[in-house]
Each structure stands twice: as structure tokens, then as C-alpha cells.
Structure 1
Amino acid sequence: MIQGTASSVGKSMICTGLLRIFQQDGYKVYPFKSQNMSNKYTLTEDGFKISTAQNLQAIAARVNPNPRMNPILLIPNSESGSRVVINGMDKIDLEAAEYFKYKKDLRKMVYEIFKEIESENDLIVIEGAGSPAEINLNEDDFVNMGLAQMTNSPVLLVADIDRGGVFASIYGTVMLLDESQRKRIKGILINKFRGDITLLQPGLKMIEELVNIPVIGVVPYTHLELEDEDSLTEYDKLCNVVKQNTEDIDSEIDRLAQILRDNIDLNYIYEILGIKNA
């Protein structure tokens, strides 16, 4: 499971790249995000709505887009309300407080869908939402640490260095979790790095000692022509306004996968997945 210290740290792209890597390495892989909030979505061939991110991840995994990848999609329709899409179909319009109560009934459905796709695949790459340190939302959570615990998934925590405060965001996120949740985080990925990595290395050592979690990669800031779904990301991308063809998307995903191969400890990731001789 990929979680982040905040929204827009690059969780979706890290998931996309890892899915392509696992697929290239011969595994049957599948993306999963239990709940996504986005006003950008894609229609599958059968007319179901799924988020743009999970559609992209389906392409990365070389599987057909399916609403099981994104059982709950929240499409904002006001400052405090959303259209609730369940399994790809419009269900109901709710205000935020109403949805917080409503979602309790969705936990079982999410788990059943996960178990179904788990039985069909070698690996599932799960994407969290926002941050696991949103302590006001942790009750009955099935999106971040609640889902990681339900599915017994190891977690990689992604932090965005480009916006500043990366060490504070890592430390604050980890320290706001309870002990069992902290132990579930097996590695930290620092994303969107620019500059001389030798200047960063003392900080990497210090944050590892502070949180007792290894930093397993520093991913360079890279412009990728892959569509974003988040309002805080790069909207100067051509692909955000002009529809791409499948070959261009596939090529960019391959480029993303190679960037991750070159900058993260894949052997360590395979190790925490219990896969030998990867």
C-alpha cells in the first residue's frame, strides 16, 4: 500500500510506476483504491465511472479498467458535498457530514471486493487517500491505515520534497499514528527531488533515526505527460487538456517505471512482499 504525508505528494504516480514494474517482472497485478475524491473520471467500456488515476493504473498493469479498482468515487458538486458513485454507478448526493455516517455501511463491501481481486492476482498495489495522519477521519477508516490493517498490507510512505518541509511532514505523519500503525510503514519514499542529493543525505540519515523507518528511495522531479486528477498538480501538462493516444501513455508509463527502477530499492520492496530472488 502506498500512503502519503499529504494529498498531491505523488501517490498515484508511484502506484502507476510500481504496477508497470511488477507487470514487467512477470506478475499478475491489479490497482485498488477503496475511495477516491476527484472531479475527473473515466468511463469504462461498460459505462462505469472510475477515477482517472485508477484508469491510468489499469493501463500500467495491462488490465482492463474496472469499477472494482475504485469501488467508491466521490465527485465534488459543491463546497461541502459530493455525488457518491458506488461500483461505477451514481448512487446519491451527500454533504460531507452525511457521507461520514453513510460510509460506515460501505466498509464490508470494500473488503469483499478486495478479497475477490486478491484471489485473482499475484500482487495488488493499493493507493491511500490524503494522509493517514488525518486523525479526525480515522474512525471507521477503510481508506488509509484502516484498509492496510484490514488487508494486512505493508505500507510505503511517500513525501513531497518539492513543496518544502519534507522532514517535518514525515516525522509528523509517523508520530500521529499509533504504534501498530507505525510498524506497518516499512519504507519511506521522497518524491519530486531537485538538486544535489549529497546535500540531502545527512537529512535522510537523521529522519531514519528519528522514525526508525528506512528511506528506500529519492525520486527526482520529472515532467511526465500522464494525466493528473488532482487540482494541486501540474496543469501545464498538454495531456491534461488534450486526449492522448494509448501508445504515448504506455511509453510514458514505461519511462516512469524506469525512473523508479533507477531510484528506489526494488529488492527491498520485493523482500517486504515476501518474494524471493526478484
Structure 2
Amino acid sequence: MAKLIMVQGTSSNVGKSILVTALCRIFKQDGYKVAPYKSQNMALNAFVTKEGGEIGRAQAVQAEACGIEPSVDMNPILLKPEADSRSQIIVNGKVDRTISAREYYEYAPLLLDTALAALNRLREKNDIVVIEGAGSPAEINLKQREIVNMRIAKEASAPVLLAGDIDRGGVFASLIGTIDLLEPDERYYIKGYLINKFRGDASLLKPAIDVLEDRTSIPVLGIIPYLRNMAIAQEDSVYLDECKGSLGETDLDIAVIRLPRISNYDDFDALATDGASVRFVSKTAEIGNPDLIIIPGTKSTIPDMEYLEQSGLAETIIKKARKGTHVLGVCGGYQILGKMIYDPHKTESETTELKGLGLLDTETTFEKEKATTQISGQVKFDSGLLSGLAGCAVSGYEIHMGRTRLFSAQPAFHITKTPKGPADYLDGASNAEGTVLGTYIHGIFENAAFRRGFLNAIRRHKGIPERQADYFDRDKEYDKLADIVRASIDMEKIYAILNEGIR
């Protein structure tokens, strides 16, 4: 059975996911077969495994850092928030039910056995499993029924590293406060602290670290610097407030609409590696005059379309599109680009139909069954944003409940394969000029040839030189992350904690 180590945090957005990613890569570099695990994740960034199951995007990234294929066992319970304080519950990769927060509070303990069974399957196949907690283990209003922090640590006998974010301030108070709110038997599982996102001279922290260690009898095992220019997907949408939106020199400006229920916003991270400045905007005044407007995925298409109308963003996007600005919609964003959205089963909200932006001659109807599959295929259309790309191979994954019907709009992609075997269906739509494009394919910009051709089509339209292909190696990004974190933490002590476990 695999050995375990767990990363918990004093709150959300302290960097648990990226620290787990780093540890996964470090253990892989050291020759171990390693896998990530998070029993319960609440996220709108999702990934589809080869089995056709949904998991949190962070666990897919962590699996990639491990050099292994993502599986539903890495995140057996996924909560996808919807409108009206409800969440869609994904269990072992498939939709289980949609319930309110209060209903889930009662339901969660019934899923503990499911979560532990997934962990045990991972332990049987690996040398090490790195477990990620969620939020804080000291949420005293939730801890009696939680199944992601101390309950998992105790059930699995996993030693815990507690991470705190020094960049937001108050890290020592949050670490001591978390320990103070834990029960005595829970404190025993905390074997070390990780102070994350530090800027400056770490030696200046010594007096505070001495107090922290004296007061809690738990050692600080590392001070990790604030990470910059890392082309690795982040889980928390708070990251959108911090990201700079480009890596290197840029010649294109891309504005991504920050919908209230935005999902899979990391679909566009790769654009920032290829000469584009990617910025997330939520107000009409922030749009400016971009080369491309992107409407991203959303868990709640109809409520977010209503938001676009109420905020004035819809009118601005329509005006700019009519003046020639390129517009791309992905998944829910693709549905929004059409003329009408129908929800006869009230899958997303109480609104059964709503006008879309009308930039594509399409209509979308929500069905009861969700489509979740990896896909591969090629570009079918050859104009505008897809100019010169006909026949270009693409791959990615689909997660959607809507089915989109095309009228005069032109199909954009031909899907030829899924994990189940050969396929033959069309995806996406474009207007005749190719200036407005929609697709259900998440991860499409991870295809380097397509990404470069897509951006070069915009460059040709703009009248600026095309860029030649540079090979972007994400593996090097994981190694870069691992090297930085390894140099910042006491791996000898972490290995000792891992090997000793909980006795």
C-alpha cells in the first residue's frame, strides 16, 4: 500500500493545489510512482478522464505532474456550484444529483466510504499518494460532517503539512489559530508548516518562526517563494485577480469575459505562452479594443447570459463583433453566442428560454443527460479565425448538457474519435466570415499547431507578422516548479514524515 502525505491549508487559495503538484513532481523525479488525491473538490474547472468521468482540473494537472493518466479515483466527489446556492454533485465522475448547500451538508457523510474506496484503489497502484485538503480544517461550523480534511487524514492515517499564505498577511495568526481550533487528537496529525507565497528575505521571519514553533511544537518545514510566470493551471478563480496574463513579449490583446459562474478559465492559459496578452474583464469599460473577445465556459449559461444583458456587456460585445472584432465562445460561451437558449427541463434555472447574443445562427437546448468525453478530430471550416487551418488536428474534451443546432452557421470541427472508438459528428459553428466562432472543445489551445495557426490568423487580419512555432514543453514547467519548491523545503524531514506515517 502506498505511503501517504497530506497538504491542508489555513484557508482557500493558500496554494494547496500547486504545492501538491510540486510534491507530486518531486516524488516522481526521485523515482517513485505517485498519484494525487482529493476526496471532495468544489470547482467549476473540470476535466474529463478517458473513462468519461469528470474530476477537478487541479487533479488532472497534478496527475500530469506525476506523469500518469488522470482517473476519477483522484477526485471521487466534485461539487460544481450553480445558480441559487445549489451545486451539481459528481460522484465517481458522473452526475449524482443537484442539491442545496444545506442538503449537501447532510448528504456528505454518506459519501465517505466512496471517497475512501477511491483512495484505497490509488494506494494499491502507487508508492506514494499526495492528498490535498480543501479550505481549512478549522471550519468549526462544517467540521462535524466534512469528508475532505481531518476526517480523511484520520481515516487514512495520513500525516499533514499545514500551508499558510504569507502574501495576504496574518500567516502566523492563521497557523496558530488553525492549530488552536483543532481537537487535540487532530493536532497530532499536523507534522509541519509550509509558509507559501513569500516575497523578500526569509531570514527576517526567524523571530516569528521561533515563536510559532515554540508555541505549537510543530516545525516550519519550508518557506516557498511567490511563484511568478509559471505556465501551470491554477484551481481557484481568485487567481484571476493575480495573474498577469502573458509570458514574454506580446502582440495580441485578448479579453476574456469573467462570467459570474466562469468555468475552465484555464482553457486560455496556453494563449499567453504564444504572444498573446490574456486579460479577464467584468465591466464594459475594461474591454477596450481587443483583437479577440472570448466568452468562456460557464456552469450556468442562462443566468450568465442574463448577467451579460444586465451589465451592458452583451451590447458591447455585439457592437464590437459587428464592427469586425473577433469573438470566440467555448462551451457555455458557444451557447451564449447563438440566437436562443432553451431549458425545457429547468436543468440550470427556472428560466425555460432566453435570447442569446445572436452572433451565430444557432439554438441550444439543454437535455437531462450530460455529455462528457475526450475527443479528437480536425478543423473543418477554413475562413477567418480558422483560415488556413482546415484539416489541422485537434483534441480536447467536452462537458456540456446543451445540444446546439445549426441553421445558416457553418460547422467548425469534425470529431473523428473518442475513447470508445471511431466517431463521426460535427462540433462548433462559425459565421460565414469566420469572425465569430463557437466550440464545445475544452483544452483546444493545448494543441500547439492549432493554437499558433489560430493566433496567426488574427495577426494576418491585424496586419502584423506571423510568429513561427516554438515548442512549449509543459514538462519543463513542472520541473521548474519542483526545483523551486525542493530548494525551499526540507525534503529530508518530509521523507521522514512520509516514512514514519501516523503511529
* TM-score, scaled to structure 1: 0.95
Say if 2:48 is the partner of 1:43.
yes
Aligned positions of 1:122-201 closer than 5 A? 122-201=127-206
Contact 1:35-1:73 at 8 Å conserved across structures: yes
Contact 2:198-2:223 at 8 Å conserved across structures: yes
Which residue pairs with 2:244 in the alignment? 236
Say if 2:122 is the partner of 1:117.
yes
Q: Which moved more, 1:196-205 or 1:226-235?
A: 226-235
Which residue pairs with 1:226 in the alignment? 232
Say if 2:215 is the partner of 1:210.
yes
Cα distance per residue 1:56-97 (max 9 Å; x no partner)? 000011110111100000011025211111111112111000
Provide runs of 4+ in structure 1 moved above 2 Å: 234-249
Segments of 5+ residues of structure 2 without an aligned counterpart are 1-5, 247-264, 271-444, 448-471
Letter in 2 for 1:271: A
Classify the secondary structure of the residue corresponding to 1:222: coil
Segments of 5+ residues of structure 1 without an aligned counterpart are none
Q: Which moved more, 1:34-43 or 1:138-147?
A: 138-147
Cα distance per residue 1:167-201 (max 9 Å; x no partner)? 10001000000111111100000000001212111
Cα distance per residue 1:21-78 (max 9 Å; x no partner)? 1011111111000000001111123321111100000001111011110000001102
Q: Tell which has more relative contact order, 1 or 2 (C-alpha 8 A, sep 6+).
A: 1
Contact 1:44-1:50 at 8 Å conserved across structures: yes
Which residue pairs with 1:64 in the alignment? 69
Say if 2:495 is the partner of 1:270.
yes
Cα distance per residue 1:140-175 (max 9 Å; x no partner)? 322000000000000000000000001100010000
> Taking structure 1 as reference, are residues 15 and 237 closer, same or farther at Cα in structure 2, changes over 3 Å only?
farther
Contact 1:225-1:237 at 8 Å conserved across structures: no
Classify the secondary structure of the residue corresponding to 2:481: helix
Which residue pairs with 1:90 in the alignment? 95
Which residue pairs with 2:110 in the alignment? 105
Equivalent residues, number: 275
* TM-score, scaled to structure 2: 0.53
Q: CA RMSD in A?
A: 1.5
Q: Which moved more, 1:143-152 or 1:237-246?
A: 237-246
- The structure in which a higher percent of residues are helix is 1
Identity value in percent: 47
Letter in 2 for 1:226: I
Which residue pairs with 2:322 in the alignment? none
Which residue pairs with 1:81 in the alignment? 86
